[in-house]
Structure 1
Amino acid sequence: MSLNGPVRQVPLVLQVSEQFRALIETGAWPRGARIPGEHQLANELGVSRGTVREALRSLSLTGLLEPRVGDGTYVRATNEISGVLVRDDLSASLTHVLDARAGIEAAAARLAAQHSDDLAPLSAALEARKAAVDAGDFETFVAVDADFHRSIVVASGNPLLLRLYDAIAEVLTESIHQTASIPEDHRILDAHVVVLEAIRAGDPEAASQASYALIETVKQSPREPTDPASST
């Protein structure tokens, strides 16, 4: 089999934007960080400032970057799906995010109750949550709570559901950050335990209902201003 026609060279702007995207995806440019200026980037890459400017503009249009007049350019999201959510302000309503979480996590819990044999990560995450509360470590508490919810999706055994969850993980984790507090409302801890017990019992309907009930409990629970960033 022969190949016909010339090989098209990838435009330089696209090459540069892909390099920038890789820096974002790998965490070399972390979310919330200010990236180097156009002049520095152009010198490092050996390209014109115009090329850098167009590459940055393309990533700003996808929501990955956020230019701030007089302050530079910041990393807004680490993937295009989260970027679109942030760019279009779809994540502005905490209630909408919580409702979306409930749908995804309830579906995952139902599948986990049917298929999962390894629930050790869920148990470990609950223990880590308690340890973080006892230590008064808010940021760790948010991180391990996010681990608990992601572990449910992993336990579902559905790779597409996990890919979807990971694609919007930043938005979902931010909702945890906004609703969490130390000390934790005991009803929220109890709701997490109920989800795990329903999955462990192999009861899909109970697991699904428990996931919905957990989010409803989060919505209704008053939050203490544990951390300045956690108050809403």
Structure 2
Amino acid sequence: MSYIYTVRLNGSEVATVSLDGPVRQVPLVLQVSERFRALIESGQWPRGSRIPGENQLAAELGVSRGTVREALRSLSLTGLLEPRVGDGTYVRATNEITGVLVRDDLSSLDDVLDARAGIEAAAARLAARRPDPGGLERLTVALDARAAAHDAADLDAFVSADAAFHRGVVEASGNALLLRLYDAIAEVLTESIHRTASFPEDPRLLQSHLAVFEAIRAGDPEEAGRASYALIETVKQTR
């Protein structure tokens, strides 16, 4: 990149000077690690999957095995990958925030549920201040899908629908930053749903979800926040 400067003295042009920006070459290890990061974020390397070995990756990229090893090591340090001795390397998370949160010392179920309570209650209050027909429709669709999955005893579909409901509450808040924060830790939150889901579901859980929905639809921020907190407390009691 070039920059042109004009030097003036007492209003008279004296000279022009061109400065070329320094050329920075991205280290090969960084290029390779970014390639791997893109594979993780795009889902081509899904969370929980074992990635190809160092030899295969080196051959496919046309780089040394040492370069691949260093790139994998850098992503392991951020929590995206998890090397397992004698078993290969697995995708641990799709972003650094989740990578930190899934560490054994930071991922207790009660801590995750308490974090969910804080985020979702704040979102529910905001959503109830300005109920949006589109947001209410998304919540209705999620509740219907949740009920259908429960009746079919389809755990994966149930978890997906339940996660969609809770994300829908945050989306309905209209707070873009809150939604980005929620999405950044979505993997941890969805895992908490999976760990607490069971069939048949305790009837109190369905009623708790409906209470949140009804409070948002009624435009009652205080009740929406209270109902959201109560929902998480019910999850704790029934897990």
- How would you bin the TM-score normalised by the shorter chain? over 0.9
Tell me if 1:206 matches 2:223: yes
After superposition, the C-alpha distances for 1:113-168 in whole angstroms (9 at most, x for unaligned) are 01231210001111111101111111100110000000001100111100000000
Match of residue 148, structure 1, among 165, 182, 186: 165
Tell me if 1:52 matches 2:68: yes
Cα offset, 1:197, TM superposition: 0.2
Match of residue 46, structure 2, among 8, 30, 36: 30
Amino acid at match of 1:61: L
> Does structure 2 retain, via aligned residues, the 8 Å contact 1:116–1:157?
no
Tell me if 1:172 matches 2:216: no
Task: Kindly indicate which of the two structures has a greater share of residues assigned to strand.
Answer: 2
Tell me if 1:68 matches 2:84: yes
After superposition, the C-alpha distances for 1:19-77 in whole angstroms (9 at most, x for unaligned) are 00000000000000000000000000000000000000000000000000000000000
Could you say which structure has the larger radius of gyration?
Answer: 2
- Using structure 2 for the length normalisation, give the TM-score: 0.90
Cα offset, 1:102, TM superposition: 0.2
Cα offset, 1:88, TM superposition: 5.7
Structure 1 residues 1-232: aligned runs within 5 Å: 1-2=3-4, 3-87=19-103, 89-91=105-107, 93-117=108-132, 118=134, 119-221=136-238, 223=239
Count of aligned residue pairs for this structure pair: 221
Equivalent position SS for 2:158: helix
Name structure 1 gaps, 5 residues minimum: 224-232
Equivalent position SS for 2:83: strand
Amino acid at match of 2:59: N
Equivalent position SS for 2:79: coil
Amino acid at match of 2:73: R
Equivalent position SS for 1:116: coil
Rounded to whole Å, the distance in 1 between the matches of 2:212 and 2:104 is 33
> After the TM superposition, which of the residue ranges 110-119 and 162-171 deviates more from structure 2?
110-119
Cα offset, 1:107, TM superposition: 0.4
Name structure 2 gaps, 5 residues minimum: 5-18
